[in-house]
Amino acid sequence: MALGNYYEATRRVELVTQPLAQDLSVDVAIIGGGITGISAALHLVERGYRVAVLEAEHIGWGASGRNGGQVLPGFGAGMVKIKKLVGPAQAKSLWDMSMESVDLLYEQIQRFGIPCDPERGYLHAAIKPRQVRELHEAQAELAELGAPAGRILQGDELQARLASPKYLAALEDDISGHIHPLNYTLGLAKTAQDAGAMLYSQTKVTKVTPGKIITIASGQHTVSASFLLTAGGAYLGDLMAPIAGYIMPVGTYIIATEQRADVAQMIPRNEAVADLNFVLDYFRRSADNRMLFGGRVSYSTLPPPSLPASMLRRAQKVFPQLADARVEYCWGGNVDITQNRAPHFGKLAGNILFAHGFSGHGVALTGLAGKLAAEAIAGQAERFDVFAKIPHARFPGGRRLRVPALLLATSYFRLRDML
């Protein structure tokens, strides 16, 4: 898998950061330079806080700069499960905030002039009759939530929107869309930096010592802070032991074809698309007319063998028009999932907050998570606490047995995808 990350090759935002080179005292320290951490930094400096972001690699290095770029409301768990977890009233509040997260993302792109190719439009695609029924159920659920329900496309109308023989129907969605996620992350980071946030790259945190003043160690230097937000996602590791067992890193992968004139004809209105399988295919056009296609996962986080070729075969089953296509980019990274696929927010020791576990549904929601964390630090924790009340359980078996346990738990859904 040495073909490289398409997003890195097409980055359009110059962001200059340096490693931490001295001891520092701030109001708020943030671990993790992805969308959650950067969004929190931006909202905090706008409130007048002195903020430092500590990133072990470079800004946007993790899931925020490698994902499918698909902007969606809702949650990986689905709203039926969210209702079971928290009840109808709280579920409605969570849904409304997820809708807010989409609006926030597009508003910030426009407000800050971030060059990340924003598009609106999404198709939720059904492969089998059971999934067509699921589309009708989703349409009714959206109407119940007060969201635009969209139409279900079939036959010639579907073919005009999605030129693939694979799908029986698709639910159109004008709320969702897609972006270049790395350029969005970098653009948000540049805005936060210009507003006064201190962004440190190549600054791996090795120890956190709680207290009224929290001490965060990185190499030979320390950061002292009144508040800490941990937003390392799948790359947090065991740094924060009390919460480490609640998330698990899962590898996910994407290819980009060469630039092709026919890609525009495959998805004429330039929507993002995903099917309804548990292990789903998701794809979209890039701004320079490549097919960006994702769909493989690895619960060991090790890339599957012959990944570019196997991903291209999946894409060709969706679009036979890609029979002569070449893979020019192939990349991946880890996303952080929770057992119930709902996001995991909360507090440790009062002045340490965390937000992670977006379970593959974080492009929009991470931005709102940062905003809610900033609100909570400023003393307005009501909205953050709605998320914090979602019940969670650790993955069973500890770190060594977590992967086989998860594989066993997901085997039923993989089998169901084939039926």
Q: What's the pLDDT at 296?
A: 78
Q: Cα angle vertex 416, ends 413, 418, to 5°?
A: 120
Q: What's the pLDDT at 398?
A: 59
What distance in Å separates the CA atoms of residue 160 and residue 260, rounded to the nearest whole number? Answer: 19
Q: Which CATH number fits domain 6-388: 3.40.50.1820, 3.50.50.60, 3.30.70.260, 3.90.730.10?
A: 3.50.50.60
Q: What's the pLDDT at 400?
A: 55
Distance set, CA 37 to CA 30, 44, 60, 111, 248 (Å): 6, 10, 10, 19, 19
Q: What's the pLDDT at 412?
A: 38
What distance in Å separates the CA atoms of residue 339 and residue 40, rounded to the nearest whole number? Answer: 25
Label residues 130-164 b or e (16+ Cβ within 10 Å = b).
ebbebbeebbebbeebebebbebbeeeebeebbbb
Domain coordinates of the chain in residue numbers? 6-388
Query: Which of 108, 122, 115, 162 lies closest to 7 in space, CA to CA?
Result: 115
Question: Length of the chain, please?
Answer: 419
Look at the alpha carbons of 408, 412, 413, 414 in this order and tell me if their dihedral is positive or negative: positive
Q: What's the pLDDT at 295?
A: 85
Q: What's the pLDDT at 48?
A: 98
Q: What is the pLDDT along the chain (419 residues), one digit of tens a residue?
A: 458 999 999 999 999 999 999 999 999 999 999 999 999 999 999 999 999 999 999 999 999 999 999 999 999 999 999 999 999 999 999 999 999 999 999 999 999 999 999 999 999 999 999 999 999 999 999 999 988 879 999 999 999 999 999 999 999 999 999 999 999 999 999 999 999 999 999 999 999 999 999 999 999 999 999 999 999 999 999 999 999 999 999 999 999 999 999 999 999 999 999 999 978 899 999 999 999 999 878 877 777 888 999 999 999 999 999 999 999 999 999 999 999 999 999 999 899 999 999 999 999 999 999 999 999 999 999 999 999 999 999 998 655 555 555 544 444 344 445 45
Distance set, CA 273 to CA 14, 162, 256 (Å): 30, 9, 15
